[in-house]
Amino acid sequence: MQICPLSYHHPLFDALPFHPKVRAAVTPRPARATALAAALLAAASAGANGKDFTVRMDPVPGGTFVMGDAMGEPDEKPRQVAVAPFEIMALEVTNRQFAVFVAETGHRTDPERRGFGFVWDGRWHRVQGADWRRPSGSDSSIAGLEDHPVVQVSARDAAAFCAWAGLRLPSEAEWEFAARGADGRRYPWGDDPPEQDGIRRANFGTVPCCGPSAVDGFAATAPVGSFPAGASPFGPLDMAGNVWEWTASRFPGKPHEVALRGGGWGNNPWCLRVSYRHGNPDDIGLDMVGFRCAGEMR
Ligand SMILES: [Ca+2]
């Protein structure tokens, strides 16, 4: 077994300056017409950098599948789960898209209100001034990273974005089904490792775990959708790697934590498996964690 040091319970994690049960006031849910949100996001997304970042929703048919991995961690014990039909964003939410949401709603993220975010360099550092506009701290910026996934957003910030867009975060079961389908594969593309025979299928980190690796051209985040060979059976990209993704599900046994999935740019292939689970407090931001939204099948 290997450890993916994402949870704040891990010894590589700087302590929070507050008890996780002491939560900030709930972020007000913005009230905006979803049609307007969809139009604004489309206008901000299409054709950026010569590439189409339009918000594409991939349909995921309902079904029954075995969630988990008998060869995985103890909390991945296989169990049969039924999922109703839904849709999921083909790509992680980008900085450009999150900026539209903030401009329209005035939303202030949890890391902005807390005054810090967590930054990974082989361990997690609590960095003052790190937020979605300054992912590594006050001297950093997202200039040139407009089509990279937004990071340093909490689960509550992610849920607020999705609600504004007329969507929601996927449950853990929906996320895993969208990533692997029903045939028991280990990764979105199948059972082959993320890099094999010169084909790179995900943005991930060093082996052994867990430093940034620029072998794929990206030491940290990559523009969303950069690894088409890593598509899941239903179409979504980057379900393994690039950034971990918040879900709508509480982490079992940890009522103040939310489940994250998919592994990130600093993790090794073990952590990129579709069944790997982590939990973190719902009001902290990290520079290896983003999200994508789901919605009801239209
Ligand atoms: Ca991802």
pLDDT reading at 287 higher than 50: yes
Spacing, Cα 262 to ligand 1 middle (Å): 5
Evaluate if residue 28 carries a pLDDT over 50.
no
Q: Ligand 1 center to residue 240 CA distance, Å?
A: 5
Domains located in the chain, CATH noted: 20-296 (3.90.1580.10)
Share of the chain above pLDDT 90, in %: 68
pLDDT, tens only, 30-71 = 444 466 677 777 777 655 444 555 678 899 999 999 999 999
User: 122: CA distance to ligand 1 center in Å?
Assistant: 19
Query: What pLDDT score does 119 carry?
Result: 95
Looking at the predicted structure, is the pLDDT value of residue 137 above 90?
Answer: yes
Q: What is the model's pLDDT at position 23?
A: 59
Distance 265 CA to ligand 1 centre (A): 9
- 241 CA from centroid of ligand 1 (Å): 5
Distance CA 190, CA 207 (A): 20
- Position 21 scores a pLDDT of 56
Residue 112 scores a pLDDT above 60: yes
Contacts of 60 (CB under 8 A, 6+ apart): 83, 85, 86, 87, 88, 174, 177, 178, 234, 297
User: Separation of 238 CA from ligand 1 center, angstroms?
Assistant: 4
Amino acid 31: pLDDT: 44
132-137, long-range: CB within 8 Å, 24+ apart, which pairs?
A: 132/95, 132/98, 132/157, 132/285, 135/287, 136/287
Read off the pLDDT band of 111 (50, 70, 90): very high
The pLDDT assigned to 55 comes to: 77
CA of 253 to the centre of ligand 1 (A): 24
Question: What is the Å distance from ligand 1's center to 244 Cα?
Answer: 5
Contact status, residue 134 vs residue 140, Cβ threshold 8 Å: yes
How large a percentage of the chain has pLDDT more than 70?
83
Residue 225: is its pLDDT beyond 90?
yes
Neighbours of ion ligand 1 (CB under 5 A): 238, 242, 262
Q: Per-residue pLDDT tens for 46-56?
A: 554 445 556 78
C-alpha of residue 248 to centroid of ligand 1, in Å: 15
Query: Model pTM?
Result: 0.90
Distance 158 CA to ligand 1 centre (A): 14
Q: Is the pLDDT of residue 264 over 50?
A: yes
